[in-house]
Structure formats: structure tokens, C-alpha cells
Structure 1
Amino acid sequence: MRVAEIARLTRTSVRTVRYYHQLGLLPVPEERGGWRDYDLSHVARLSRIRWLVQAGVPLKAIAGILDSPAVDASSEDVTVIEDLSGALAAIEEHLAETTRQRDMLTSLLTRARDGLTVSPMPPRMVAFFDRLEAACPDERTRAAVRRERDLVDVACYSGRMPPEAELLFPGPEDGEDDGALAAHGRDTAGLTDAQIRERAADNIARFERVLGPQRCRDLAGHFDTASIRPLFQLIAAVEPGYERMAEAMERLLTEAIARWRTTP
């Protein structure tokens, strides 16, 4: 038979058949009457190649698998086993990555349907910043909200934002939006160190109001305080204007979590 026929029988393409010739996976048949004349052995070989490709075996391993001599059931062909084990590991890794992407897309689709901004942040954080932006009374406040939103976005994307931090962001029922807007509306450039500490303390107090005593204790019980420093170091690095606030927040939040753990 000719190349088009063998391609049709094995549900592949002429180009693929010729590529396998180039790789040495499929023997090149003799010519008869100016055409390459494929026979049953070529069809069988190509079928086995396609079968292994569909199973996820890399092309570079297929020749060794197909050409491995037959062995009895008590023997092991180490090369074949290693090749197949490696192919399986690669497929499992790809499956895990595909599953992660599917879960991310499902979450993003849910947010979009709920009218939330698409973002690396968890939904509660996104909803908080969406509410603040919609309620900003002036452009200066809106710019401050967006700047902080950008910082949190970067922290979430980089993996520096602890998962538990989502709980620290107020929901619409907490009644904290007006206070958060007022804080964003105040200029921080000229604040003294004492005023910076006061502003950071206000943030900690807001966290405690949002969580309540029991949730503060629960959160502190499994919160890894070692994750606090990388978070605020990142914030200070990408936004130098937040450096003093980041230092104050790191210290006060660490102290607060220690206090929550011991509060009866």
C-alpha cells in the first residue's frame, strides 16, 4: 500500500508517517514502481507507535519499548519499566497542573458571574476593594484604594499573602467600610512615626472587630507567624511609601497574634 493508505488505516497523517521515518521509529519500505510499498508489518508497527503516543509515552522512549526483546513473566526489562514509569509521572504532573488550572478557571468564572473583579485575590478581598472603589468620594481616596489593592494583588500572586489573611478583610455586614474609606482618604506622606503606629493600631483593632474573640483565637492557633515578615517585606519593596507602615503592621500584627493565642 502507499503512504496515504497506511496513514488512513492508522488514523494519522502522511506528514506524521514521514516524521516517524526521520526519527527511525518506522522503517522506510522498499520502492516498487517509484512508490514506497508499505505492508502489514508497517501497519502493525505504526499502530503500536500511535498507541504508545496516545498513552503519553514520549517519542524518544518508544523505540526502546517496541524493540525490547520478549521476556518471561518473572523477568523485568529495567529500561522499559523506567521509560513507562517516567511517562506516567509526566502525565500525573500534567494532570495535577490541568486540575489546578480548571479549579482556577472555575473560581474566576464564578467571580465574573457574581460581578466581582477578576484578580489573584480571594473573593472576600476582591469584594472588599470593589465596594470601597465604588463608594470612594473623590479621586485621591480612589487612588489610595487602588494602590493598596495593587499591593494586595501582588502579595497574593507571589504567594506571600497567608491564606488566613482573607478573614481579616471586612464583609459588607461588618460595618467597617466607612472607616476604611476615611483612612484611605487621609494623606499618609507627612505622618509622624507615632501617627503611623496609631494608624497601624487602628488596622489591628479593625481586624479584631471583624473576627471577634473566638475567631481571633482560632486564627492564632494555626497561623504561621513566620509568613508575616515576607508579606510586609514585599509590600515595602514594591511601594517604598508604605515602608514605615509595613514595619509597624508587621510588629503589631505579630504581637496581636501572640496575644490572641493567650486570651481566654
Structure 2
Amino acid sequence: MRVAEIARLTGTTVRTVRYYHSLGLLPVPAERGGWRDYDLSHVARLSRIRWLVRAGVPLSAVARVLDGAEPTTVPDDGAPDGASVTQDLAAALASAEAHLEEVTAQRDMLASLLERSRAGMAVSPMPPRMAAFFDRMEAAASDERTRAAVRADRDAVDLACYRGQMPAEAELLFPDPDAGDDAATLAAYGRAGAGLSQEETEAMAAAMVERLVRRVEPERLRALAREADREAIHAVFQFFASFEQLGSAYARAMEARLLEAIDHWAVSEES
């Protein structure tokens, strides 16, 4: 049979058949009447090649697997000399499992994003509670300066979530709506970047943390104290401090006040 027919029988293309010839995976048949004459042995080998490729075996290992090539010598340490069929298949399986893990994570992310989109929420890596907070703040901002400060904060949190730096327990610090506290938070956003003194910055950070503490249920605070990763918290505030737009002094002050509060909650739980 001709090359087009063997390609059709094995579900591949003429180009692929010739590529396998070039790699030495598929023997080149003898010519008859000016064209290559493939027989059953070629069809069988090509089918096996395609089967192994679909299983995830790399082309570089297909010949060894097909031919059952095992190392012929064993060094003194008992380890096989060179690659073996078993090693090739184990490596292919490990690669497939890694890919499966990646695809599973991708599927879970898509399912989460689809759910949020159907609920009319922003498509973002932020947990819904965080996203709702920033939606609320931006919608309530009465001037462009405040709105810009909210957006800058949101961008930083979004980026930290993208990078996997935002601790999971941080969602506890984004409470449900409260007219009075929301107004105070917006006022703080409005003062952001206004050339505040260190004392004013410290006071603003302390007031922000105090509002958060007041609005989070005691059990949630205790859970936060139990689960808080101080190194992760430090890393995310260091990240925030690297953006001049957010104010490095305010980021450091917020970190200090928040860690003080976490220590206080931890002591309260122990007592």
C-alpha cells in the first residue's frame, strides 16, 4: 500500500509518517513500481507508535519501548546503565500526572470564574468577600481621588492574589457592609497620599485595624490568630510597600498594627 493509505488506516498524516521515518521510528519500506510499498508490519508498527504517543510517551523513548530495549550492563551500585523501558514509562507517567494536576487546577479555576460571572461578580482571583468590599468602596466614593485610591488598593490586592501571596485568612478582614465604618474607610482612602505625617499615618492605620476588629466576629478573630502565617503577612505588606502609589509608610504601619492585633487575639484565646 502507498503512504496515503497507511496514514489513513492509522489515523495520521503523510507528513507524520515521513517524520517518523526521519526519526528512525518507522522503517522505510522498499520501493515497488516507483513508490514505497508499505505492508502489514508497517501498519502494525505505526499503530503502536501512535498508541504510545497518545499515552504520553515522548518520541525520544518510543523506540526503546517498542523494541523492549533494556540496559545490558549493571554497574556496581546496582542501578541500570542508561535509560530503560521502565524508566521511560515512569517518566512519562510522572509527566502525565503533573499535567493532570495542572489541568485539574485549571478546571477548578474556570468553574469558580464561571460561577462568579453568573452571579454578576467581577472575574478576579480575589475571594468574593474581598471583591465585594472593593466594589462597595468604589461605588460609594464621592470623588476621583478617593476612587483612585480604592482602585490602587484593589489592584495591589488583586496582584497579590494572582501571585499567590495573599494569605487565605486575609478574607476575614473584609467585613460585611456597615454605613458608619464604610464612610470612615472611604475617608481614609480620601486622605491616602495626602502627605500625612508619620503620626497621622500611624493613627490612620490603627483606626483602620480597630474598625476591622470591631466588625469581625470574635470566633473569626480567634481563627485568624490560630491560622495566621506571620511570614506570609510580612511578605504581602512588603509587596504593598514596594508601590509608591500605596504609601510604604502606611503599609508598614498597617502591618505592625495588624500583627499587634493578631498577637492580642492569640493571647485572648489562650486565656
TM-score normalised per structure 1: 0.92
The CA deviation at 1:131 is 1.5
Residue equivalent to 2:3: 3
Displacement of 1:89 in angstroms is 0.3
SS at match of 2:124: coil
> What fraction of aligned residue pairs are identical, expressed as a percent?
61
Change (3 A) 1:110 1:175: farther
Describe the SS at the equivalent of 1:117.
Answer: coil
Shift of 1:173: 6.2
Alignment partner of 1:225 out of 225, 230, 236: 230
Q: Distance in 2 between matches of 1:175 and 1:105?
A: 36
User: Which shifted more, 208-217 or 18-27?
Assistant: 208-217
Equivalent pair of 1:236/1:243 in contact (CA under 8 Å):
yes
SS in 1 for 2:170: helix
- Verify the 8 A CA contact 1:26 1:45 in the aligned structure 2: yes
- Give the match's secondary structure for 1:252: helix
Paired residues, number: 260
- Summarize the Cα distance change of 1:187–1:162 in structure 2 as closer, same or farther, 3 Å threshold: closer
What residue number does 1:123 align with? 128
Whole-Å separation in 2 of the counterparts to 1:5 and 1:57: 25
2:116/2:122 contact within 8 Å kept: yes
Alignment map for 1:131-150 (pairs within 5 Å): 131-150=136-155
For 1:68, the aligned partner's letter is: G
Structure 2 CA distance for aligned equivalents of residues 122 and 193 of structure 1: 32
Q: Is the Cα contact below 8 Å between 2:113 and 2:123 reproduced in 1? A: yes
Q: Does 1:169 align with 2:180?
A: no
Q: How does 1:104-123 map to 2 (within 5 A)?
A: 104-123=109-128
Secondary structure of the residue that 1:238 maps to in structure 2?
Answer: coil
Choose the corresponding residue for 1:152, options 151, 157, 160.
157
Decide whether the 8 Å contact of 2:172 with 2:220 is kept in 1: no
Q: Which amino acid aligns with 2:236?
A: L
Provide the C-alpha distance between the structure 2 equivalents of 1:45 and 1:37, rounded to a whole number of angstroms: 15
Q: Give the TM-score taking structure 2 as reference length.
A: 0.90
- Superposition deviation, residue 119 in structure 1: 1.8
CA distance, structure 2, for counterparts of residue 175 and residue 108 of structure 1: 32
Residue 60 (structure 1) aligns with: 60
| Unaligned ranges ≥5, structure 2 | 71-79
Could you tell me how far apart the structure 1 residues matched to 2:212 and 2:104 are?
34
Q: 1:23-51, CA deviations, whole angstroms, 9 ceiling, x for partnerless residues?
A: 11000001000110000110110011011
Q: Aligned to 2:205, which of 200, 221, 226? A: 200
CA-CA distance at 1:132 after TM superposition: 1.4
Alignment equivalent of 1:186, drawn from 183, 186, 191: 191
CA RMSD of aligned residues (A): 2.1
CA distance in 2, matches of 1:170, 1:43: 66
> How far did 1:69 drift?
5.5
Shift of 1:240: 5.7
What is the alpha-carbon distance in structure 1 between the residues aligned to residue 207 and residue 46 of structure 2? 71
Question: Which residue of structure 2 lines up, in the alignment, with residue 37 of structure 1?
Answer: 37
Q: What letter corresponds to residue 233 of structure 2 in structure 1?
A: I
Match of 1:74 in 2: none
Of residues 242, 259, 263 in structure 1, which corresponds to 2:264? 259
Ranges in structure 1 where 5+ consecutive residues have no aligned partner: 71-76
Q: Is the 8 A contact 2:152 2:245 kept in 1?
A: no
| Structure 1 partner of 2:20 | 20
Q: How far, CA to CA, are the matches of 1:241 and 1:148 in structure 2?
A: 7
SS of residue matched to 1:27: coil
**Cα distance per residue 1:187-233 (max 9 Å; x no partner):** 44221111111111111112212322221112101211121211111
1:260 Cα deviation (Å)?
0.3
**Partners of 1:58 and 1:187 in 2: CA distance:** 56
| Aligned residue type for 2:90 | S
- The answer on whether the counterparts of 1:170 and 1:177 sit within 8 Å (CA) in structure 2 is no
- The AA in structure 1 aligned to 2:105 is R
